[in-house]
């Protein structure tokens, strides 16, 4: 009977050790997979240096091409002034249509007068 207890205890011990060993190995494999995924997603130092160099070059170009806000405001004010001038000096579409309609009415009256004169036998 002692042998049976010892055999059972040894079997249980080996089972528990195997369970924890398998669990530990699974966690190690999982961490290894996650570590590989992180390595694939991360940038190398060379890539980082290259991107930093490109960004610095872009910043330098922006600084060279930068136009101060005052200049933009001045241009904007000039555009506003031009718009005011255009509104004062040019006709709107509605005004143009109205004036053309007046001219057409006058032409129609003149045509009618000429037709009436021709019918009466008068010379113009």
Chain position carrying tokens 């290894």? 32
Q: Looking at residue 123, what is its pLDDT?
A: 66
Report the chain's mean pLDDT, rounded to a whole number: 89
Helix (H) or strand (E) holding 45: helix 45-65
Domain spans of the chain? 1-43, 56-90, 91-124
Q: Is the model's pLDDT at 124 over the cut of 80?
A: no
DSSP string, 15-26: HHHHHHHHHHHH
Give CA–CA dist 118/124, Å, rounded.
8
Which residue is listed with tokens 């200049």?
A: 71
Q: What is the pLDDT of residues 19-53, one digit of tens each?
A: 999 999 999 999 999 999 888 888 788 888 999 99
* DSSP-assigned letter for residue 42: S
d(CA 77, CA 70): 10
- Does the pTM exceed 0.75? no
- Which uninterrupted H or E stretch holds 44? none
How high is the pLDDT of residue 106? 96
Phi-psi region of 87 (alpha: psi -120 to 50; beta: other; left: phi over 0): alpha
Q: Are 29 and 21 in contact (CB under 8 A)?
A: no
């Amino acid at each position: 009977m002692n042998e049976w207890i010892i055999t059972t205890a040894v079997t249980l011990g080996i089972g528990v050790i195997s369970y924890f060993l398998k669990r530990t190995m699974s966690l190690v494999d999982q961490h290894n997979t996650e570590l590989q995924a992180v390595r694939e997603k991360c940038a190398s130092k060379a890539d980082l240096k290259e991107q930093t160099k490109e960004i610095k070059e872009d910043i330098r170009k922006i600084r060279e091409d930068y136009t101060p806000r005052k200049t933009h405001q001045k241009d904007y004010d000039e555009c506003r002034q031009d718009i005011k001038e255009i509104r004062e000096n040019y006709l709107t579409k509605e005004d143009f249509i109205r004036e053309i309609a007046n001219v057409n009415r006058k032409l129609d009256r003149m045509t009618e007068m000429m037709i009436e004169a021709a019918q009466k036998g008068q010379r113009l």
